[in-house]
Amino acid sequence: MNCPSCGKEMERGILYTQLGRGLFFLPPGGKVGVWDTKRSVEQRGGIVFDGPHHIQGSDRATVHGYVCRACKKILLEY
pLDDT score for 71: 95
Asked if 13 and 74 count as a contact pair (C-beta separation under 8 A), the reply is no
Q: What is the pLDDT of residue 57?
A: 66
Q: Would you write out the chain's pLDDT as a tens digit for each of its 78 residues?
A: 999 999 999 999 988 887 788 899 999 888 888 888 999 999 999 999 998 887 766 678 889 999 999 999 999 988
What is residue 14's three-state secondary structure? strand
For residue 9, what is the DSSP state? B
Q: Is 57 left (phi over 0), alpha (psi -120 to 50) or beta?
A: left
Q: Which residues pair with 61 in a beta bridge?
A: 17
